[in-house]
Homo-oligomer: A and B are copies of this chain.
Amino acid sequence: MSDGGGLFGEILARGRVREAVSDQAWLQAMLDVEAALARAQAAAGLIAAEHAEAIAAACRAEHYDIDDLGAQAAAVGNPAAPLVRALRAQVGDPAAGAVHRGATSQDVVDSAAMLVARRALEPLLDDLGAAADAAARLADDHRATVMAGRTLLQQAVPISFGLKAAGWLVGLDEAAARLEAVRSTRLAAQLGGAAGSLAALGDSGIEVLSRFARELELAEPVVPWHTARTRVAELSAALGEASGAAAKVAGDVVLLAQTEVGEVREGGEGGRGGSSAMPHKHNPVAAISALAGARQAPGLVANVLAAMEHEHERAAGAWHAEWAPLRGLLGATGSAAAWLRDCLEHLEVDAERMRENLDDVLLAERVAAAIGGSGAADVVRDALAAGRPLADVAREHLAEDEAARVLDPATSLGASDQLIDRALGAHAHRS
Binary contact readout A53-78 vs B (1 if CB under 8 angstroms, 0 otherwise): 00000000000001101110111111
Contacts of A283 on B, CB cut-off 8 Å? 76-77, 152, 154, 316
- Residues of A279-318 at the interface with B, using a CB-CB cut-off of 8 Å, are 279-285, 287-292, 295-303, 305-318
Give which listed residue, B160, B227, B260, B275, contacts A167 with CB less than 8 A.
B227
Copies in the complex: 4
The answer to the question of A384 belonging to the interface, with a C-beta cut-off of 8 Å to chain B, is yes
Contact B248 A229 (CB under 8 A): yes
Contact B195 A230 (CB under 8 A): no
The answer to the question of A132 belonging to the interface, with a C-beta cut-off of 8 Å to chain B, is no
- SS class of chain A's interface: helix, strand, loop or mixed? helix
Contacts of A404 on B, CB cut-off 8 Å? none
Task: Indicate whether A419 sits within 8 Å of B251 (C-beta atoms), given known contacts A12-B324, A70-B10.
Answer: no
Contact A279 B377 (CB under 8 A): yes
Binary contact readout A84-107 vs B (1 if CB under 8 angstroms, 0 otherwise): 000010000000110000001010
Query: What is the minimal beta-carbon distance from A103 to any residue of chain B, in angstroms?
Result: 9
For the complex, give the distance between the alpha carbons of A198 and B412 in Å: 10
Contacts of A306 on B, CB cut-off 8 Å? 244, 295, 298-299, 306
The answer to the question of A140 belonging to the interface, with a C-beta cut-off of 8 Å to chain B, is no
Contacts of A274 on B, CB cut-off 8 Å? 76, 381
Give which listed residue, B6, B257, B312, B414, contacts A1 with CB less than 8 A.
B6
- Residues of A124-165 at the interface with B, using a CB-CB cut-off of 8 Å, are 148-157, 159-160, 163-164
Contacts of A174 on B, CB cut-off 8 Å? 228, 230-231
Query: What is the minimal beta-carbon distance from A412 to any residue of chain B, in angstroms?
Result: 5
How many A residues have CB within 8 A of the partner chain?
181
The answer to the question of A2 belonging to the interface, with a C-beta cut-off of 8 Å to chain B, is yes
3 cross-chain pairs, A with B, having the tightest CB-CB distances, nearest first: A244-B308, A149-B195, A291-B317
Contact B248 A228 (CB under 8 A): yes
Contact A23 B7 (CB under 8 A): yes
Give which listed residue, B79, B245, B366, B419, contacts A7 with CB less than 8 A.
B79
The answer to the question of A254 belonging to the interface, with a C-beta cut-off of 8 Å to chain B, is yes
For the complex, give the distance between the alpha carbons of A167 and B289 in Å: 25
Contact A151 B195 (CB under 8 A): yes
Contact B317 A96 (CB under 8 A): no
Contacts of A234 on B, CB cut-off 8 Å? 178, 237, 241
The answer to the question of A267 belonging to the interface, with a C-beta cut-off of 8 Å to chain B, is no
For the complex, give the distance between the alpha carbons of A81 and B278 in Å: 12
Contact B299 A301 (CB under 8 A): yes
The answer to the question of A48 belonging to the interface, with a C-beta cut-off of 8 Å to chain B, is no
Contact A73 B230 (CB under 8 A): no
Query: Could you write out 19 A-B pairs with CB less than 8 Å apart?
Result: A1-B6, A2-B3, A7-B73, A11-B70, A12-B320, A12-B323, A150-B313, A154-B283, A155-B260, A167-B196, A194-B365, A202-B414, A243-B305, A243-B308, A248-B310, A287-B317, A291-B320, A292-B317, A299-B301
